[in-house]
Structure 1
Amino acid sequence: MKPSLVLKMGQQLTMTPQLQQAIRLLQLSTLDLQQEIQEALESNPMLERQEEGEDFDNSDPLADGDDAAGSPPPENTYQETQSSVENLEEVNDWSERIPSELPVDTAWEDVYQTSASSLPSNDDDEWDFTARTSGGESLQSHLLWQLNLAPMSDTDRLIAATLIDCINDQGYLEESLEEILESFDPELDIELDEIEAVLRRVQHFEPVGIGARDLRECLLLQLCQLPEDTPWRSEAQRLVGDYLDLLGGRDYSQLMRRLKLKEDELRQVVELIQRLNPRPGSQIESSEPEYIVPDVIVRKHNGRWLVELNQEAVPRLRVNPQHAGFVRRADSSADNTFMRNQLQEARWFIKSLQSRNETLMKVASQIVEHQRGFLEYGEEAMKPLVLHDIAEAVGMHESTISRVTTQKYMHTPRGIFELKYFFSSHVSTSEGGECSSTAIRAIIKKLVAAENAKKPLSDSKIASLLEEQGIQVARRTVAKYRESLGIAPSSERKRLM
């Protein structure tokens, strides 16, 4: 084909940096948003916090002329203080006009950075690497700390450090003593008995039961460290040492015959064993705790459910009127241009926060409208809800709803829930209605809690009980819901009365 030049006319939506900022702030969690706001306050002299008790003008300076007087800003959003400085209105004449509504609705394929903490600050001197990469104390570091306090020879300390390195996160020794012996230099002349002796010393470290080679040894270590006058301690040691497989199979009749115990006595022995920790290493957290700050608060007032933003989670911002007054309209010097750009960025940032809160309020209000039954009666009254339902109600794309509900939390009288918790698939009922999967899980949990401990309900029995309530669920679906709730199969739920 012969190359040629073709002139075409068309329209295309351009994602400006300001619009990208608004969309990115929309999908930030509260903790990430707080960090983003702090960075903006440190980098932009035009921004300042709105302190409590200060006079605050509710008029919107972002609108021009008659637009500001015609419609007050929505409640529970960030407000920019109306400056009394005369030339601030003149700045609005030449500065880029900010629209009353930002088009933050986006499609699935639009991807933006979601975490403010994942990017280092521009100031390398103030960027704290350890603050962003440090984690909690690991099990190995906890054991090595105890090893440093224990009096040992250099050889024993080397053996102990090697043993600790072979302990997994659950607290069990993964390698056999023979394999550990082969890993040492033959010139050290280390014998298997030495490794066995050092292992016994490591097994006395905290947490109790650490360094065991199997479940039986782990439980026995914990029982041995209980006071000698602990009731049923010796019987529990015998059960764990000789008949742990019968306990795992719930063969209580065989256990009563072997141990020569009555049913009530065996029950107390089993209860003592159940108080032990089969995974002692899990007591040491290896990651930083995650804190949840609710974005939305839901409460009932005079019979109505009210939705409001958590104003204490994020500081209120405004343009500093004194700094804004330094901007001169006709001055094109470098300093004045810098201040003019900072002022415009501050106004865009505040508007982006307003847009974020307005969108969050719209989505949260629709969720509360759909899930009033949950707020009134609990999980069993949860209605089926998908992203499309909320997207259609607020007039936005499903991907926008997904971004708004991710890492956003709602404080309700029933607890704090992520907004995504209120979305669930549905199952048809015999009467032609629908029941949400969350409600079915709640019913299964209730049935299991009320079952006979000697004859627990099987998945097939639970499916038949649900069918009696008009909910048609297959046995494999019941098994899937049961596993998601962390409920063991019926064969493992069998208990002594």
Structure 2
Amino acid sequence: MDFRADHRQTQTLSPRLQHAVRLLQLSSLDFSAMVRDLMGRNPFLEDGEGENDDNGDALPETAAAAADERLPDQLEAPAAELVAPPEDETYQGENDRDLWQADASASLRRGDDGDLSALDLMAADTTLASHLHGQINLLVLPEREMVLAKAVIDSLDEDGYLRTPLEELVELLPLQPPATLADMEQALAVVQSLDPAGVGARDVGECLRLQLPELSCPVSRELAQRIVGQHLLQLAARDVQGLAQRLGESVGLVEQVCDRIRRLDPRPGWRFGSSRVDYVVPDVIVRRVHNQWKVQLNPAVVPKVRLNQVYAELFKRHRSPQNTEMADQLQEARWTLRNVEQRFSTILDVAEAIMRRQVHFFEYGPMAMKPLGLKEIAEEVGIHESTVSRVTNNKYMATPIGVFELKYFFSRAMVSANGSACSGTAIRGLVKDIIEAERPEAPLSDAEITRQLARQGLVVARRTVTKYRQMLRLESVDRRRRYAA
């Protein structure tokens, strides 16, 4: 028998490093939520916003690095070593009492003004379900029908649609005798009679049909019912000529009715719920300072977290081999500070490398975008390509011409006829400029745009032009021609 020893070297990530990698991929919103969660359950972490005293070191600066320099052995030591008390340590009750009182008085200063906060004065959002329940409670219905109607209301999605089949709702309701499909249809009809009109629909066509009784003109209402019930696809395609031929009506009347249908609300549930609009908060900001482009972190996305020196000092004075859980929490707090610093330091390094490679973009816009790959940035920053991919995921850069995701600056090289390289972003900009410059009465097809690019020395396939046009959310040539007409 032939025995051979096969020696291989493999790299494995420690749990601590795997956790750091996962944190690097999170968006700023998710990362801040994670840090807030840690601050809520780890007594050694506290909010460092607005304070700069001797109780802790706020981020971002070099807080984690400074903590590492002060306590290098404790960071890497196991829990048993962390909690081993020094032999000459003595109890200092008076100093401990001072620490506790100082921390308590600071808390009182932060929340003892007695005034209502802005959150207390905010109006509560009315959800679609609460709005419908308020109406259904005013109706005089049998108890069984009331239960079925409320079950339908609770099954609606945020658009106001009933996506769950009635057959499934029948099986989920523990009623005696069991509810029938006819019972559910009747309960659904009750819900569909509530405000807003269109709520409880099972598809877009039904949602629009439920709103058609609001049309005051009988002729327009009857024609709208025919369009919504039989020709919904032609309505979505804005094929007014085809609809007029199918319905046997004049083009003017059909177009007038179609415009009225488009003013109906296909998502009635959107009128309720939170009115808050989520905006993209950039992670880095690019500015021109003294004719040079500078990149800086956005302070709004950096968590203001620091080590609570009061609790850390108390634990240091009274630590014992039995306090392994608190030792782990202290170590977790220090790792969190290090991860926060490392995360934003890496984001800043990658953003600066991108800025240096794409400086012409900031000067002249998307037309000057250069081809750029992850490998180039990885080699310049000194990290792995996968790390660059994680850093640029859900991270945004604010520039004088707009806010862009960091991935926006990466695109593969496309060789022109003269041998020079051009980025896909620049070609998309050309496609947009060509379409914006076309005559409205004679829009250009994707094939004609391809030929125009070829005359400029850019050999691009027609399907690539189609893909870029769709990414720019520009209509096809037929629809642009129809709109112009």
The answer as to 2:358 corresponding to 1:360 is: no
Identity %: 39
Q: Is the 8 A contact 2:48 2:57 kept in 1?
A: no
Which residue of structure 2 aligns with residue 224 of structure 1?
Answer: 213
Q: Is the 8 A contact 2:167 2:181 kept in 1?
A: no
1:285-320 deviation digits (Å, cap 9, x = unpaired)? 89x986754322222323322211122323344445
1:94-140 deviation digits (Å, cap 9, x = unpaired)? 54579xxxxxxxxxxxxxxxxxxxxxxxxxxxxxxxxxxxxx99977
Which residue of structure 2 aligns with residue 205 of structure 1?
Answer: 194
1:483, CA displacement in angstroms?
Answer: 3.4
Which residue of structure 2 aligns with residue 305 of structure 1?
Answer: 293
Q: 1:225 to 1:353 in 2, by over 3 A?
A: same
Which residue of structure 2 aligns with residue 369 of structure 1?
Answer: 356
Q: How does 1:45-444 map to 2 (within 5 A)?
A: 46-52=44-50, 54=52, 77-79=61-63, 92=71, 95=74, 146-154=135-143, 157=146, 160=149, 201-211=190-200, 218-225=207-214, 228=216, 236-237=220-221, 239-242=223-226, 245=231, 247=235, 248=237, 250-252=239-241, 255=244, 258-260=248-250, 269-278=257-266, 280=268, 292-320=280-308, 333-334=320-321, 346-444=333-431
1:366, CA displacement in angstroms?
Answer: 1.2
Q: Is the 8 A contact 2:65 2:338 kept in 1?
A: no
Which residue of structure 2 aligns with residue 121 of structure 1?
Answer: none
The one-letter code matched in structure 2 to 1:365 is: E
Q: 1:271 to 1:349 in 2, by over 3 A?
A: same
1:398, CA displacement in angstroms?
Answer: 0.7
Q: Is the 8 A contact 1:76 1:308 kept in 2?
A: no
Which residue of structure 2 aligns with residue 27 of structure 1?
Answer: 25
Q: 1:176 to 1:322 in 2, by over 3 A?
A: closer
TM-score w.r.t. the length of structure 2 is 0.65
The one-letter code matched in structure 1 to 2:483 is: R
Q: Is the 8 A contact 1:219 1:240 kept in 2?
A: no
1:414-469 deviation digits (Å, cap 9, x = unpaired)? 44333223223343323323333333334444544555556544332332333344
Matched residue of 2:293: which SS? strand
Matched residue of 1:495: which SS? helix
Q: Is the 8 A contact 1:219 1:278 kept in 2?
A: yes
Q: Which has the higher helix share?
A: 2
TM-score w.r.t. the length of structure 1 is 0.64
Matched residue of 2:282: which SS? coil
Consecutive unaligned residues in structure 1, runs of 5 or more:
61-74, 99-135
Would you say how many aligned residue pairs link Structure 1 and Structure 2? 427
The one-letter code matched in structure 2 to 1:275 is: R
Consecutive unaligned residues in structure 2, runs of 5 or more:
78-124
* Distance in 2 of aligned mates of 1:162 and 1:318: 48
The one-letter code matched in structure 2 to 1:295 is: D
Q: Is the 8 A contact 1:380 1:438 kept in 2?
A: yes
The one-letter code matched in structure 1 to 2:31 is: L
1:41-94 deviation digits (Å, cap 9, x = unpaired)? 45555554444362689999xxxxxxxxxxxxxx963435979xxxx99x7485
1:376-435 deviation digits (Å, cap 9, x = unpaired)? 444444333221121122122111111212232323334433322322334332332333
Which residue of structure 1 aligns with residue 93 of structure 2?
Answer: none
1:361, CA displacement in angstroms?
Answer: 1.0
Q: Is the 8 A contact 2:64 2:341 kept in 1?
A: no
* Distance in 2 of aligned mates of 1:188 and 1:343: 57
1:363, CA displacement in angstroms?
Answer: 0.5
Which residue of structure 1 aligns with residue 36 of structure 2?
Answer: 38
